[in-house]
């Protein structure tokens, strides 16, 4: 007959309180309505006690079979079970000898006489286990009550295989075997999605979820790490697992998804299907010995043992699909084949699990306490066609995984007078973070006992729950690796013993509730540890600086509550802090080191209580602590905070200012006043990683009323004074004596230095025309605003062409200024330029030297600008010539010599070369020309001399000059004289005083001068240049000389020391020519 066998998933029951809040405790409830009357419970309790004693008299020794440890009994022992009345039944082979094994309380024991000893049945079981993997046998076990070995298998032909195998082993007894054949039968586990409550699960990348039930908290004895136990098939090795709360069908999702950790031990072999998942972060999980399902918490949980696993024994099972169910143990010594693996030393029970229950705890219960005896892992069928559950023993899980379950046995405690618990110590070793339980044995944990954790070198962090109000002497003494204590929430631990942290050499900080930090620091009980006390998390914080707008906060303050704010102070100034409430207040202000710097006084006014303070705060952090003076008071509080000191920064043109000072939220502001109407150009530059960068800045210019001004109010085109996006500059026209506000915002870079420079026109880059009075440049359009100055030294008519080549569609503003006779810039004209309107062509006739200023506003940095400037000289010419030629022709001059340039008869005015004409050389490195038209050949090369008519600069005469090298190497000493100018004027105090006479120009005339008097050198007609300044003059002593004079560049000599001295003049443009003068100073 084919039987339909159901399979289930076995899941873990969640036994921890994640949020660390105080849990509500419930007394034990038998939610399964199991009939457990007082008589039954009384019998059951006595039976378990007696069994623990009487079984010892039957036990002989342990033995092993294929890594399975089992017990060898006295040959007269045949088994044990609990009947429906709670009575213990002991089976023996020879009832005549039963009296030898009777307990003193023999009324609680019923002896039964069976055929086969337990040892024989164990041998049969072991033998059939040996062929399970090669046959269709999936279940084999001993039935203590029926005195046989039951065998469940899929293939009827394998019955003969089993029998033949036992016959070969000489173990075949037909009445000792019971076969159940079911082609669909078997034992299986699965991890598919199903209904449930609090769960452990893994979410695959495909979206499929595998989940189960927590069994119990546990500690790994190898590592000291805390975690949870479940089945190996729920949490395979190295699989990441999460806590899911419970499955909410309405949303098809878990109510929570919190990462637990990764399975570090997982074993589905020999005697267990179990896994240990250590918490990835132990500080987030409070361990608890309790069991929980939905809102029911079972707080009386203890560690069971193998003596409590007896056939007929009542059990309670928790699973997140089927909930809390009760049943009985059906078999205590069962082996099963599952997924091709053989598991032995199992027990099975009558309240079968379903999908979602895998890993859940199995308890023996006496109606009061719960004793953890196993982990549920599978479901199968039995000979009565009813499903049975299968579990591995907790004792085997403990030994195979080397873990210790956390139950009420795990803690040493004392019940205090107020009914709360004092934690005196742990019965297990733990490493890493440890959260002290807030509840044990159904009671609140309020105190940590003396030396409770002393000498525990595995713990690195202790989390103290909010239930703790007292810590006894030496509680954490000599915990060498303890680095951190965290006191949770609003706990006030008012009673602290001595030497609590003595010898904790690694302790770095004691973290307390944020709002209570100063209470703890100032409490005498904690004063010894004041320097270690830190807050749990940063309090509400606000940035404050010199331009922070007024902040107003209104909130309710609860009874006994403390409010703490942290201020990030960016400016070292005074700040006003006002607090107003309905009751008397306390306000304290602390600096970054948490030292008290100010405490405000309460003033009662109009039924309100006001506290104010105006402290000077330094850059860094500051703390404000506010609470009602009376802890029983509560109500509304209003706080106002604002800067009390203004830091408006006036800057001057031409100066660099530090932007980083008072730079807040990447913003700063300055004031500037223009002493005269002027163009001002502002540039922001920063230093990042020792590299000078143009900071991406936003700059705007406003008037004193805060309105954005125009960049150039003189222009007919409006452009607001706001910088182009991401540029670092702005230019604007400042009116005389007007004060402007500069608003600056810079990019968020790690500046080592950041400066704002204010440039005037005099600071702008200036370009000169070339030797031919031309200028050309092609510039890449800068981003933002820019300006260039062009210097026109020579008068004339100039053609100025500006051509923009780029794609900027929005208008740029081009503005031209020119200097007047006072060298002040005046507005000339302006143009709107873009990609389609891109050309400016101007003709300017200059009758005097001047500068033209080009200003460009609002460039987005796209394209190029071509600038072309040229003098017009092709029309209205006249003739000029030198004294060597009466007609215009190229003039060849020897380096260092001069020639006079004359006006031709066609000149517009021939009366004066100086008065009516400006004289220029297009290459002053080759030849220079004086205002009178005297040409001096300076160096080898070619140039052109221009003569421009002042009254009409478009009328120009030119003369080409070629300068050649003087091939002579002969030094020529020129004639000289003293004290008579070209116009006949007598000079020099030597002559005018009457001490000496004029010395006529001659070859080496005698020269005397009195000390303190002067003479003026004069040149003769043999000099290549009549200008004294064309020579370099020096005075020196020759051998035997002892006199000295001074000589100026204008040839003035003054006697200073009596005696002979030499004065020498070397012609600047041809060193072959020199003046050699010997002078005697009287």
pLDDT of residue 728: 87
Of 596-600, 885-889, 971-975, the range with the lowest mean pLDDT is: 885-889
Burial of 994 (0-12, 13-18, 19+ CB in 10 A): exposed
Chain center to CA of 40: 66
Token look-up 């004027």 returns 985
**Per-residue pLDDT, 810:** 95
Residue 22 banded pLDDT, cuts 50, 70, 90: very low
- Percent of the chain past pLDDT 70, that is, above it, reads 89
Phi then psi dihedrals of residue 815, to 5 deg: -125, 135
Range name among 233-237, 374-378, 515-519 with the lowest pLDDT average: 515-519
Which burial class, exposed, middle or buried, applies to 1069 when counting CB atoms under 10 A from its CB (0-12, 13-18, 19+)? buried
Going by their DSSP bridges, the two strands 272-278 and 265-269 should be labelled as: antiparallel
Task: Give yes or no for residue 550 having a pLDDT over 90.
Answer: no
Can you give the pLDDT at residue 1006?
92
* Polymer length in residues for the chain: 1082
For the residues 924-947, what does the mean pLDDT come to? 90
Split at pLDDT 50, 70, 90, the class of 249 is low
- Greater pLDDT, 104 or 217: 217
The answer on pLDDT for 689 being more than 70 is: no
Model pLDDT, residue 96:
53
Segment among 57-71, 415-429, 667-681 with least mean pLDDT: 667-681
CA distance 160 to 148: 18
- The pLDDT value recorded for residue 104 is 47
Q: What is the pLDDT of residues 571-603, one digit of tens each?
A: 888 888 888 887 787 888 888 887 888 887 677
If pLDDT is split at 50, 70 and 90, which confidence band does 448 have?
Answer: very high
Question: Is pLDDT of 795 > 70?
Answer: yes
What CA–CA distances, in Å, run from 706 to 36, 724, 846? 87, 19, 42
Is pLDDT of 646 > 80?
no
Q: Does residue 33 register a pLDDT over 60?
A: no
The average pLDDT across 453-475 equals 92
Give the position of tokens 């020759």: 1038
Alpha helical stretches, state H, 962-1041: 989-992
Mean predicted confidence (pLDDT) in 170-192: 75
Task: Compute the distance between CA of residue 175 and CA of residue 987 in angstroms, rounded to an integer.
Answer: 158
> Which pTM does this prediction carry?
0.54
Phi, psi of 762 (to 5 degrees): -65, -15
CB 905 within 8 Å of CB 879? yes
> What are the chain's domains?
10-35+120-404 (no CATH), 408-535 (3.80.10.10), 540-643 (2.60.120.380), 649-761 (2.60.120.380), 765-819+830-870 (2.60.120.380), 880-964 (2.60.40.1080), 972-1081 (2.60.40.1080)
Q: What's CA 1028's distance to the chain center, in Å?
A: 75
Residue with tokens 């915990």: 479
Interval 1034-1046: pLDDT, tens: 999 999 999 999 9
Q: How confident is the model at residue 24 (pLDDT cuts 50, 70, 90)?
A: very low
Q: What are the tens digits of pLDDT across the range 837-880?
A: 999 999 998 888 899 999 999 999 999 999 999 888 765 688 89
Return the minimum-mean-pLDDT range out of 2-16, 162-176, 835-849. Answer: 2-16
Query: Rounded distance, CA 165 to CA 154, Å?
Result: 17
Higher pLDDT, 361 or 379: 361
Q: How far is CA 657 from CA 662, 679, 721, 738, 758, in A?
A: 11, 19, 20, 20, 9
Q: Could you tell me which of 101, 98, 93, 90 has the C-alpha nearest to residue 121?
A: 93
Task: State the Cα–Cα distance between residues 425 and 453, nearest whole angstrom.
Answer: 6
% of the chain residues with pLDDT over 90: 43
For residues 783 and 698, what is the distance between their CA atoms, to the nearest angstrom?
12
- Say whether pLDDT at 195 is over 60: no
Query: Which tokens hold the place of 144?
Result: 């203590």
Q: For position 631, what pLDDT does the model report?
A: 63
- Averaged pLDDT, 23-47: 56
Find the Cα–Cα–Cα–Cα dihedral 641, 643, 644, 649, rounded to 10°: -170
Sequence-distant (≥ 6) Cβ neighbours of residue 22 within 8 angstroms: 438, 439, 444, 465, 466, 467
Mean pLDDT, rounded, for 1002-1019: 94
Does 1008 score more than 70 pLDDT? yes
Instruction: For residue 200, name the pLDDT band (cuts at 50, 70, 90).
Output: confident
């Amino acid at each position: 007959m084919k039987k339909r066998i159901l399979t289930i998933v076995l899941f873990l029951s969640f036994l921890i309180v994640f949020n660390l809040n105080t849990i509500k405790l419930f007394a034990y409830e038998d939610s399964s309505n199991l009939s457990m009357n007082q008589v039954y419970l009384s019998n059951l309790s006595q039976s378990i006690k007696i069994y623990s004693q009487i079984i010892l008299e039957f036990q002989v020794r342990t033995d092993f079979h294929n890594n399975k440890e089992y017990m060898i009994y006295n040959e007269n022992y045949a088994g044990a079970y609990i009947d429906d009345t709670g009575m213990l039944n002991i089976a023996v082979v020879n009832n005549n000898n039963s009296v030898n094994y009777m307990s003193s309380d023999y009324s609680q024991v019923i002896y039964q006489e069976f055929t086969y000893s337990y040892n024989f049945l164990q041998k049969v079981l072991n033998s059939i286990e040996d062929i399970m993997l090669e046959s269709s046998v999936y279940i084999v076990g001993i039935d203590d009550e029926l005195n046989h070995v039951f065998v469940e298998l899929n293939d009827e032909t394998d019955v003969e295989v089993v029998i033949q195998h036992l016959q070969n082993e000489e173990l075949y007894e037909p009445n000792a075997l019971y076969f159940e054949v079911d082609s669909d039968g078997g034992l299986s586990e699965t991890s598919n999605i199903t209904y449930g409550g609090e769960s452990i699960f893994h979410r695959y990348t495909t979206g499929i979820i595998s989940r189960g039930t927590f069994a119990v908290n546990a500690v790994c004895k190898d590592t000291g790490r805390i975690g949870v136990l479940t089945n190996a098939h729920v949490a395979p090795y190295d699989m990441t697992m999460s806590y899911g709360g419970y499955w909410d069908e309405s949303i098809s999702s878990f109510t929570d998804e919190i990462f637990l950790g990764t399975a570090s031990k997982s074993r589905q072999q020999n005697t267990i299907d179990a896994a240990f998942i250590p918490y990835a972060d132990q500080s987030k999980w409070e361990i608890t010995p309790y069991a929980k399902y939905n809102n029911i918490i079972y707080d009386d949980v203890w560690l069971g043992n193998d003596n409590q696993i007896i056939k007929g024994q009542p059990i309670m099972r928790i699973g997140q699909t089927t909930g809390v169910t009760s049943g009985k143990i059906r078999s205590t010594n069962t082996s099963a084949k599952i997924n091709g693996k053989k598991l032995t030393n199992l027990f099975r029970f009558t309240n079968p699990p379903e999908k979602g229950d895998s890993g859940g705890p199995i308890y023996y219960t006496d109606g009061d306490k719960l004793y953890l005896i196993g982990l549920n892992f599978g479901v199968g069928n039995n000979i009565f066609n009813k499903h049975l559950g299968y579990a591995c023993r907790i004792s085997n899980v403990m030994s195979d995984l080397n873990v210790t379950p956390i139950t009420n046995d795990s803690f040493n405690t004392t019940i205090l007078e107020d009914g709360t618990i004092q934690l005196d110590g742990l019965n297990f070793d733990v490493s890493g973070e440890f959260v002290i339980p807030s509840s044990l044995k159904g009671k609140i944990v309020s105190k940590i006992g003396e030396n409770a954790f002393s000498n525990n070198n595995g713990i690195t962090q202790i989390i103290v729950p909010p239930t703790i109000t007292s810590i006894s002497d030496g509680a954490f003494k000599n915990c060498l690796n303890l680095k951190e204590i965290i006191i949770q929430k609003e706990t006030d631990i008012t009673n602290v013993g001595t030497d609590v942290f003595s010898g904790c050499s690694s302790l770095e900080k004691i973290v307390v509730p944020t709002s209570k930090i100063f209470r703890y620091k100032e409490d005498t009980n904690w004063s010894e540890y004041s320097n270690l006390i830190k807050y749990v998390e940063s309090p509400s914080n606000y940035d404050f600086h010199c331009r922070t707008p007024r902040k107003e906060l209104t909130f309710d303050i609860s009874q006994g509550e403390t409010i703490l704010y942290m201020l990030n102070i960016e400016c070292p100034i005074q700040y006003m802090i006002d607090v107003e409430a309905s009751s008397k207040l306390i306000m304290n202000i602390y600096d970054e080191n948490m030292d008290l710097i100010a405490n405000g006084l309460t003033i009662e006014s109009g039924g309100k209580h006001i506290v104010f303070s105006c402290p000077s705060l330094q850059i860094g952090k500051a703390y404000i602590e506010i609470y009602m003076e009376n802890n029983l008071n509560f109500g509304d509080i209003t706080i106002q905070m604002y800067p009390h000191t203004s830091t408006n920064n006036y800057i001057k043109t031409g100066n660099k200012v530090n932007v980083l000072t008072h730079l807040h939220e990447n913003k700063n502001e300055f004031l500037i006043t223009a002493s005269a109407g002027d163009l001002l150009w502002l540039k922001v530059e920063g230093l990042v990683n020792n590299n000078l960068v143009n900071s991406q800045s936003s700059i705007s210019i406003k008037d004193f009323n805060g309105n954005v001004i125009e960049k150039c109010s003189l222009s007919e085109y409006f452009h607001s004074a706001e910088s182009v996006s991401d540029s670092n500059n702005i230019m604007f026209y400042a009116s005389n004596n007007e004060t402007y506000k500069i608003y600056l915002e810079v990019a968020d870079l790690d500046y080592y230095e950041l400066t704002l420079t204010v440039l005037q026109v005099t600071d702008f880059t200036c370009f000169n025309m070339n030797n031919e009075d031309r200028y050309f440049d092609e510039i890449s359009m800068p981003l933002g605003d820019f300006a260039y100055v062009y210097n026109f030294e020579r008068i004339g008519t100039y053609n100025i062409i500006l051509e923009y080549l780029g794609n900027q569609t929005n208008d740029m503003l081009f503005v031209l200024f020119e200097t007047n006779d006072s060298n002040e810039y005046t507005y000339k004209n302006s143009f709107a330029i873009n990609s389609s309107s891109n050309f400016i062509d101007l003709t300017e006739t200059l009758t005097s030297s001047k500068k033209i200023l080009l200003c460009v506003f609002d460039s987005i940095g796209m394209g190029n600008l071509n600038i072309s400037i040229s003098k017009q000289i092709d029309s209205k010419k006249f003739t000029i010539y030198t004294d060597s030629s009466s007609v215009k022709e190229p003039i060849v001059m020897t380096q260092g010599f001069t020639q006079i340039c004359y006006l031709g008869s066609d000149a517009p005015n021939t009366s004066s070369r100086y008065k009516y004409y400006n004289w220029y050389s297009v290459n002053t490195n080759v030849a220079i020309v004086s205002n009178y038209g005297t040409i001096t050949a300076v160096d080898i090369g070619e140039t052109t001399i221009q003569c421009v008519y002042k009254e009409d600069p478009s009328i120009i005469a030119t003369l080409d000059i070629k300068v050649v090298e003087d091939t002579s190497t002969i030094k020529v000493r020129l004639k000289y004289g003293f004290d008579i100018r070209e116009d006949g004027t007598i000079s020099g105090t030597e002559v005018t005083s009457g001490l000496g006479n004029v010395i006529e120009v001659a070859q080496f005339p005698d020269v005397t001068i009195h000390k303190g008097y002067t003479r003026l050198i004069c040149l003769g007609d043999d000099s290549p240049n009549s200008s004294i300044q064309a020579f370099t003059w020096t005075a020196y002593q020759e051998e035997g000389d002892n006199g000295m004079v001074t000589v100026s560049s204008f040839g003035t000599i003054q006697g200073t020391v009596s005696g002979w001295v030499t004065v020498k003049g070397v012609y600047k443009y041809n060193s072959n020519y020199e003046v050699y003068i010997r002078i005697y100073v009287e």
